[in-house]
Amino acid sequence: MPLLEAAGISKVFGKLTALDGAALTVGENEFHGLIGPNGSGKSTLMKCIAGAEVPTQGKVSFINTDITAFTPTERARAGMSLKFQITSVLPTLTLYDNILLALQAQSSLLDLVFSRTRGALHDEVMTMLTQFRLADRAFDAAAALSHGQQQWLEIAMALACKPKLLLLDEPTGGMSLEERRVTGELLQPIKQHCSLVIVEHDLDFIRDICDRLTVLDQGKVLASGTVSEIQANRSVQEIYLRRA
């Protein structure tokens, strides 16, 4: 049984059909890349899965539950986590507090008011910051970070929610080559406990870390399969050549 199954997803904005019966299936501990030319509907599909957009048609199932009508909060509580395309760390808070905020998201109200989990979560916060190479900036405001570091912080925050499925929308946008390489390294270890759906323009990056790929074109799935299958696929080569 797949972890995530989105089927027949359509999304219409006024006269624009962004998605037209797109589908995506992700298994457990699978890294799944979502690629396609600009405007092919990658981000919209991502948003429909995360709950930021409500699909006009179609059904999203997550761990055997129909979550199509779930709010983002309910999806997060079911084990889904999203890193937005535009970084949205909380700029005035320290890095430490950004992570703590994500870690404590499902604490009960009383635990929050009486700060019962503050001590217990400290080690976890520092572990996450160390893992993402941000520990020495722990008590700086997030706004002071470079763009690449903000992306890492945001991935760390998305992971802090302990998701079963992590959705990353362009995690390496605006990063240097070196930063991209490090991002790949940072993502590898999460495979043990989490699946990943990743939207990315950097095809080398995608090829290096993903197990399977789905290619979208004009809101439809053009092809879906393992990385080598997709690389050998004629029509995929064509759309990329056509645009290039």
Partner 1 sequence: MGAVKQVVPADIGGESDVAMTGSGTARQGASLRKILPIVEGAVLVAALVAPLLLQDYLTVFATRVIILALFALSFDLVWGYAGIMSFGQALFFGSAGYGVALLARDLDITNIFLVLPAGTLIGLAFALLLGGFLLLGRHPSSVIFVSLGTLTGSYAADRLARGWYYLGGQNGIPSISPMTLGSYEFSEGSAFYYLVLGILVVVYLLCRFLVRSQFGLALAGLRENEQRIAFFGYKAQHLKAIIFAIGGAIAGLAGSLYAFHEGFVWPNMVGVVVSTQVVLYVLFGGSGTLIGAVIGTIIVEGVSFWLSDNYREIWPIILGLLLLLVILFRPLGLISFVLGERERVGSFGAGNKEKHDASP
The contact set with partner 1 (CB under 8 A) reads 50-52, 71-73, 76-77, 81-82, 84, 88, 90-94, 96-97, 100-102, 104-107, 109, 111-119, 122-123, 125-126, 130, 133, 135-141, 144, 146, 148-149, 157, 161, 176, 178-179, 182
Q: How far is the CB of 101 from partner 1 (least distance, A)?
A: 5
Q: How far is the CB of 134 from partner 1 (least distance, A)?
A: 9
- Give the residue with the Cβ less far from partner 1, 11 or 219: 11
- Give the residue with the Cβ less far from partner 1, 8 or 91: 91
Q: How far is the CB of 108 from partner 1 (least distance, A)?
A: 11
Element (H, E) at 14: none
- Give the residue with the Cβ less far from partner 1, 115 or 237: 115
Q: Tell me the three state secondary structure of residue 133.
A: coil
- Give the residue with the Cβ less far from partner 1, 16 or 120: 120
| CA–CA distance, 222 with 225 (Å, rounded to integer) | 11
| CA–CA distance, 192 with 146 (Å, rounded to integer) | 29
Q: How far is the CB of 165 from partner 1 (least distance, A)?
A: 13
Q: Using the structure block, give the residue that is written with the tokens 């056509």.
A: 242
Whether 19 contacts 10, CB under 8 Å: yes
List for the chain the helix, strand, coil content (%; round to 5). Answer: 40, 25, 30
Whether 119 contacts 131, CB under 8 Å: no
